[in-house]
Amino acid sequence: MGQVNRRAVLLGGVAAGGAVALSSALPSWASTKTFLAAPAIRDPFQLGVASGDPLPDSVVLWTRLAPAPLNNDGFGGMPDASYTVDWEMADDETFGSVVQSGTTTTNRALGYSVHVEPKGLEPARVYFYRFKTSGYISPVGRTRTTPALGAAVNQLKYAMASCQHWEEGWYHAHRAIAADNPDLVLFLGDYMYEKPSGQAAEFKVRGLAASADTTTLALYRTRHAQHKTDVDLQAAHAVAPWAVVFDDHEVMNNWNSTTSPASAARKGYAFQAFYENTPIRSTAKPSGSSINIYRQLNWGNLARFHLMDTRQYRSAQATDKDCAGYRNTSRTLTGTAQEQWLLKAFDTKPATWDFLGQQVFFAQRDTDGKSATCDSSNDSWDGYSASRDRITKGWVDRNIPNPIVLTGDVHRHWAADLRQNYYDHSAPIVGSELVTTSVTSSSNGSTPPSATWYANNPHVKYCQGMRGYVRVTTTPAQMRADFVTVSSVWERDPAKVTIKTDRSYVVQAGRRGLQQV
Amino acid sequence: MTASALLVLDVVPAAAAATGTVQTAGDPLNVRRAPSTTSTAVRTVANGASVSIDCQTIGTSVAGPLGTTTLWDYVPALGGYISDGYVQTGSDERIAPDCGVGSGSAECSTGACAAEGVFKSAGGSVTVYDNAGDGKSAGVAYWLKSGVGPIWVWNSKGTGTNVVANTGAPKGTWVFYKVCVSDRGATVPTLDNCSGGLTDYVA
């Protein structure tokens, strides 16, 4: 410490020859570097790099400075200062041909996250990118821009994943996604969980560094950071641009329009940490307890993605199995504005395939198959069937050529065809749904649907309870979905884990319905 | 910017420490294993001694001749921490970085420091001390850069003992650790009194 009376010392020191006093008090480590304003740090690129939300001329580049990522204050070991971060994009992995570069800054208010949105890139091009700060250089990421609007595209290969509870398994699925070398990765929610796993010890392979429920911004930041320490997740982020939407656990279980919603403050913390840790555009920067994440992504004349938010704007959940509630036409899962945004998009047909990337199960799953009982989930679209009807009718009435709904949330692979009346088993098929299982989150205790269940829901073709992801290969002629499974997420050694395609379906362009390969 | 502008520099934060002078009423000052007045006194340092401070951290509050403070100074040469209330540094502010600078560190479990954990940067080892005959084990839980953790180092040998284990973390990488007491015999140990956790680096 200084002298007994600190105020006298400090004021006196400044008043009488402050330069000498300050100079002698300045520790040597603070002046040994050329970057004077910011204290020296250890390698801050512990969370990897990512890119996302590609456009024909732009893609978001992301990293977050965190030399000590698990520190429980959420600042990742960064001193309280502003840091300058250089970035560059190149045509080649060795950066011999740099096409763009620049400098940005980050600080404590941003959780030391870095988002760069370069402009003026070429469409349908692969780029490599990296960051530098304080003398350290980041790992190299690979990304790509989308084809120009309307441009002819031969093929798009993307992965879709969801639900990756940290404790409940190793991220073999992400290792496989990286190995697939996709053009794009869709993450459909539950990137992190707000609370520790409730599974038994034998079903948990690792633990949270800060295991308290995420009720503060510091805890959300630390939780996100711990996920990004995973080498397989880092590899999947570095291989291709991602398009990320959240579900409920990025905030808390069923955080909106339930009997126990999250507080506005908690939503604000969760959204801020989500933005900071996601390669998402600045248009999705949260404003207090609201955030705008629904958006479109176009892939030339081949595919259009409608990335949706089925949590933030939904009407209150109906009482379980309350048919009147489920079918009340004034209730909505999307909110009016998002529904109108989606229906308006259906007025145009820029691409062969329309993919609705969203969170909760779209097709009906009615256990007894009787319309009078509403024996189905109040959290999914079944609990908001009028909302589902309006969207389905929207794409039917507007002749959307090839609508496919993409879903996460439920920790099992499913494939289903879509109808406007699911109780009429001969009603026309109007689209299909692909539901990806979890990366790690458990489905322990769930049992496969029975023959009776399938008989009551003949539009549902497939259910698989293992962990994994879905790989979608889209061409002008067909869309193929490979439902990939991981033999065990509790085995860490990749050599002892089998990753395989468990089932494949195709949909032919212009012909409705899943066909098993 | 040219490609060469992003050349990798071999930068590690300077280990050069700040210095201070121990100031007591004349008695020697206790050096504690961890930044707590209930942590084990590992040795003493004389009044007037010059000390080299690698880092500083918040611990228990101490009223010293230079004021009352929760700041503690880590002095690797002494093998532990001394209260900043007894160290003339020329400043009431921080004069060194937060602890976890790659020259070692320690934490107590919360409460009366029934468990102490020491991280040695040289070699990246963890030492777990059990200081209380409470029928529970002392433990250090740590996480590594690879996304693995917690890995436990337990000390169930009883009061006054210690257990050493190597983390195996590669040189230059981080180790995040917490010091806890626990009923080790349980199928799933319930963690009690874990410290907030600290990141340090293998030298």
Question: Domain with A140 in it: what CATH number?
Answer: 2.60.40.380
Would residue A254 count as lying in a domain? no
Q: Which residues neighbour A449 within 8 Å (Cβ) at sequence distance 6 or greater?
A: A457, A460, A463
Residues A326, A451 within the same domain: yes
Task: Give residue A122's domain range.
Answer: 41-145+190-244+260-290
Shortest CA gap A84–chain B (Å): 13
Side-chain-facing half-sphere of A169: CA atoms under 13 Å: 27
Same domain membership, residue A395 and residue A280: no
From first to last of its 517 residues, chain A has per-residue pLDDT tens of 775 543 333 333 333 333 333 333 444 434 334 345 689 999 999 999 999 999 999 999 999 999 999 999 999 999 999 999 999 999 999 999 999 999 999 999 999 999 999 999 999 999 999 999 999 999 999 999 999 999 999 999 999 999 999 999 999 999 999 999 999 999 999 999 999 999 998 999 999 999 999 999 999 999 999 999 999 999 999 999 999 999 999 999 999 888 889 999 999 999 999 999 999 999 999 999 999 999 999 999 999 999 999 999 999 999 999 999 999 999 999 999 999 999 999 999 999 999 999 999 999 999 999 999 999 999 999 999 999 999 999 999 999 999 999 999 999 999 999 999 999 999 999 999 999 999 999 999 999 999 999 999 999 999 999 999 999 999 999 999 999 999 999 999 999 999 999 999 999 999 999 999 9
A24 and A56 both lie in a single domain: no
A88 shares its domain with A222: yes
3-state secondary structure A280-333: CCHHHCCECCECCCCEEEEECCCEEEEECCCCCCCCCCCCCCCHHHHHCCCCCC
Q: How many domains is chain A partitioned into structurally?
A: 3
Residue A154, in any domain of the structure:
no
Whether residue A310 lies inside any domain: the answer is yes
| Pairwise CB contact (< 8 Å): B197 & A210 | yes
Residue B2 CB neighbour total at 10 angstroms: 10
Instruction: Determine what percent of chain A falls in helix, strand and coil, rounding each to the nearest 5.
Output: 20, 25, 55
Q: Which of B67, B96, B199 sits opposite A71 (nearest CB)?
A: B199
Same-domain status, A225 and A327: no
Instruction: Assess if residue A255 is contained within a domain.
Output: no
CB contact under 8 Å between B91 and A98, yes or no, is no
C-beta atoms of A130 and B187 within 8 A: no
Residue-wise pLDDT for A133-158, tens only, equals 999 999 999 999 999 999 999 999 99
Phi and psi of A127, rounded to 5°? -130, 155
CB-count exposure of residue A125 (10 Å: 0-12, 13-18, 19+)? middle
Considering the domain boundaries, does residue A253 fall inside one? no
Task: Indicate if A421 and A491 belong to the same structural domain.
Answer: yes
Asked if A356 contacts A406 with a C-beta cutoff of 8 angstroms, the reply is: yes
Residue A406 sits in the same domain as residue A501? yes
Q: How do residues A16-60 score in pLDDT, each as one tens digit?
A: 333 333 333 444 434 334 345 689 999 999 999 999 999 999 999
Instruction: Identify the closest residue of chain A to B2 by CA–CA distance.
Output: A98
Q: How far is CA A93 from CA A263, A498, B42, in A?
A: 45, 30, 52
Helix pair A172-180, A231-239: axis angle to 10 deg: 20
Distances (CA, A) of B110 to A306, B115, B120, B146, B161: 50, 9, 21, 28, 19
The arrangement of secondary structure in B105-201, i.e. its CATH architecture, is Sandwich (2.60)
Answer whether B8 touches A (CB < 8 Å): yes
User: B199 and chain A: CB distance < 8 Å anywhere?
Assistant: yes
Q: How far apart are CA A161 and CA A169, in angstroms?
A: 15
Specify whether A432 is located in the same domain as A348: yes
Same structural domain, A317 and A278: no
Residue in chain B lying closest to A97 (CA): B3
User: Do A77 and A9 sit in the same domain of this protein?
Assistant: no
Query: Which residues on B lie below 8 Å from A134 (Cβ)?
Result: 11
For the domain spanning B18-88, the CATH number is: 2.30.30.40
* Within a domain: A344: yes
A110, A221: one domain: yes
SS3 A218: helix
Q: What are the residue ranges spanned by the domains of chain B?
A: 18-88, 105-201
Interface of B with A in 135-154 (CB under 8 A): 141, 143, 145-150
- Report the residue from A6, A27, A209 with minimal CB separation from B176: A209
Q: Is residue A339 domain-shared with residue A314, that is, in the same domain?
A: yes
Nearest residue to A62 (alpha-carbon basis) of A168, A119, A139? A139
Q: Would you say how long chain B is, in residues?
A: 203
- Domain-embedded: residue A78: yes
Asked whether the beta carbons of residue B149 and residue A207 sit closer than 8 angstroms, the reply is yes
User: What's A425's domain CATH number?
Assistant: 3.60.21.70
Residues 87 through 126 of chain B touching chain A, CB cutoff 8 Å: 87-92, 95-98, 100, 102
CB-based contact A27 B150, cutoff 8 Å = no
Distance of CA B65 to the CA centre of its chain: 24
